[in-house]
Structure 1
Amino acid sequence: MSELAAKRDELLGNLRGLEGCAVAFSAGVDSAVVAKAAQLALGQRAVAVTAVSPSLAEGELDEARRVAAEIGIRHLELATHEAARAEYVANGPDRCYHCKRELYTELGELCEKLDLGVVVNGVNADDAFDYRPGLQAATEHRVRSPLLECGIDKATVRQLAREWQLSVAEKLAAPCLASRLAYGEEVLPERLEMIDRAEQWLRAEGFPVVRVRYHRGDLARIEVPLDDLERLLEADRRQRVGERLREFGFRYITFDLEGFRSGSQNELLPVEQLRAFRS
């Protein structure tokens, strides 16, 4: 038996041991693989649930609906209310904890109502080494992480997605819009909309990997891979970018010369803070 087949069988066995489950489903490759495995292991006793809030980028809900239909799993949409939590809006370094606490509370209530057993998420083995305040919320709410429990890393997740012919097998990471805000800048719907509109426009301009980071004073810090930076900085394009982002509500537009880095807002956090939320 190949290593991939062994991991696949371990994952399916992990899920077959559950009475039922609700998969926290964003339609990213991690949660899609968990949803597919849950559908294979549990059939009708598994559902995929997508949280709907202002931090969900345009098009992501439609993507979740499409991928759930592709997998063949029942799909539910759950309006979450993290924006009603002052701790979340304040946008401290533990923002993700407060968001996930709200999500898992509401998912837990849904599980109880539908008699589904437990909530499962798409946290993989690589995530345990990253800055993930949401992992604490998962632990507190007894959320299961089948990929993590089976030692399945991101590369293996993508291999499983290819084996199961999931259309999101190569999908890039798409963290929530709130992750673009510098810590301490309040999470407000109008700011999330500014970020979303700017990123959608830049993708349409030919920059599929892009982050528009929001800093104090309505300042946009645009990150693209270094290979794309020269093209972004061409005089005509630079002018168009400035004009459009001002239309979206930004006052100052900057280009990060270090290029795209996942989680770059965490770079200013002290080491102790980073360690606090690593498992």
Structure 2
Amino acid sequence: MDTVETKLGHLRNTLSSMDNLAVAFSGGIDSSLILRVASDLPEIRVMALMAVSELVSQHESSEAERIAESLEVPFRKVSVQVMENDAFVENSKERCYLCKRMIFERLLEAARKENLDILVDGTNLDDLGEDRPGLRALEELGVRSPLAEIRISKTDVREMARRLNMENVERPENTCLATRIPRGQMITLEKLQRIDDAESFLRSLGVQQLRVRDHEDLARIEVLPDQFEIILNNANAIAIRFRELGFRFITLDLEGFRSGSLG
């Protein structure tokens, strides 16, 4: 079985063959690991490119920029107007594919303008076993996924990040704001904004891993079971704030936080 150091060596060797490298950076642990390892290789030039759209919360954008700065890697935000795509707004099964296609087309354009030859993302081995339509867009556009290529799993990523003493190794996973809206329900700027505002409010109370699912009039709060108490102790304040945001009904999901609960 490969040791953590062996896997880090494989990743270093893979990245060292990419002279001018752009990393599609989200601030998550997968792309952060790639950025960290690449930044330690003096023989390559690397830049972090973050797609910023209506689907990315201000919290996520600020955190990603801070992490890139801490690694002393050049960082650039790339604006993507996802909501201009009517097919995406309809929120069909192709939503993720359409979004990824638009985002990575813009990132590739930005990379070319910076004279960066290769664009990589943080897809890991475990992601390949999931139903992720967005992966098709990466294949079509020639975006490379070095973690998946050398069969590095999510567990491997966290072990490698711990070995490198990376600060965001335990950072909660996040997804785009559109994943909070059930398929078939129209995606609007108003919904995305109120989801972002609602989640920001819950974070201000000390909640960490969370989702606010937007079911039109109803907000369904998902948090880890050990954080139910925070929600219940602040129920009145949460109800007031969520009603200000336009929700009529506010619920706590007793099954707790889980990725992909809307399918």
Tell whether the structures are fold-level matches, with TM greater than 0.5.
yes
Contact 2:206 2:230 in 1 (8 A): no
Contact 1:111 1:117 in 2 (8 A): yes
CA distance in 1, matches of 2:226, 2:45: 46
What is the aligned partner in structure 2 of residue 220 from structure 1? 219
Aligned partner of 2:220: which letter?
R
Shifted more, 34-43 versus 190-199: the winner is 34-43
CA distance in 1, matches of 2:210, 2:152: 27
Question: How far off is 1:177 after superposition?
Answer: 1.1
SS at match of 2:40: helix
Contact 1:15 1:42 in 2 (8 A): no
What is the aligned partner in structure 1 of residue 253 from structure 2? 256
What is the aligned partner in structure 2 of residue 150 from structure 1? 150
Distance 1:253 1:107, change over 3 A: same
The two structures, once aligned, show a CA RMSD in angstroms of 1.8
TM-score, normalised relative to structure 2: 0.94
Question: How far off is 1:23 after superposition?
Answer: 0.5
Question: How far off is 1:19 after superposition?
Answer: 3.0
Shifted more, 132-141 versus 42-51: the winner is 42-51
CA distance in 2, matches of 1:240, 1:43: 53
Contact 1:20 1:42 in 2 (8 A): no
Unaligned stretches of 5+ residues in structure 1: 267-279
Question: How far off is 1:82 after superposition?
Answer: 1.4
Question: How far off is 1:163 after superposition?
Answer: 2.1
Question: How far off is 1:20 after superposition?
Answer: 1.6
CA distance in 2, matches of 1:20, 1:227: 44
TM-score, normalised relative to structure 1: 0.89
Q: Deviation digits for residues 134-165 of structure 1, max 9, x if unmatched?
A: 11110010110011111111111112222222
Distance 1:42 1:123, change over 3 A: farther
CA distance in 1, matches of 2:36, 2:139: 23
Q: Deviation digits for residues 40-71 of structure 1, max 9, x if unmatched?
A: 23656211001111211122222111111111
Distance 1:43 1:106, change over 3 A: farther
What is the aligned partner in structure 2 of residue 75 from structure 1? 75
Q: Deviation digits for residues 88-114 of structure 1, max 9, x if unmatched?
A: 111112211111101111111122222
What is the aligned partner in structure 1 of residue 137 from structure 2? 137
What is the aligned partner in structure 2 of residue 242 from structure 1? 239
CA distance in 1, matches of 2:204, 2:170: 19
CA distance in 1, matches of 2:65, 2:75: 7
What is the aligned partner in structure 2 of residue 125 from structure 1? 125
Question: How far off is 1:38 after superposition?
Answer: 2.0
Unaligned stretches of 5+ residues in structure 2: none
What is the aligned partner in structure 1 of residue 28 from structure 2? 28
What is the aligned partner in structure 2 of residue 202 from structure 1? 202
What is the aligned partner in structure 1 of residue 262 from structure 2? 265
CA distance in 2, matches of 1:205, 1:136: 38
Contact 2:21 2:45 in 1 (8 A): yes
Contact 1:177 1:192 in 2 (8 A): yes
CA distance in 2, matches of 1:163, 1:157: 10
SS at match of 2:113: helix
Q: How does 1:163-174 map to 2 (within 5 A)?
A: 163-174=163-174
Distance 1:43 1:197, change over 3 A: farther
**Aligned residue pair count:** 263
Distance 1:140 1:67, change over 3 A: same
What is the aligned partner in structure 2 of residue 45 from structure 1? 45
CA distance in 2, matches of 1:49, 1:10: 23
What is the aligned partner in structure 1 of residue 101 from structure 2? 101
CA distance in 1, matches of 2:253, 2:62: 31
Contact 1:28 1:173 in 2 (8 A): yes
SS at match of 2:83: helix
Question: How far off is 1:12 after superposition?
Answer: 0.9
CA distance in 1, matches of 2:75, 2:227: 37
Shifted more, 218-227 versus 97-106: the winner is 218-227
Alignment of 1:111 with 2:108, yes or no, is: no
Give percent identity, aligned residues only.
40
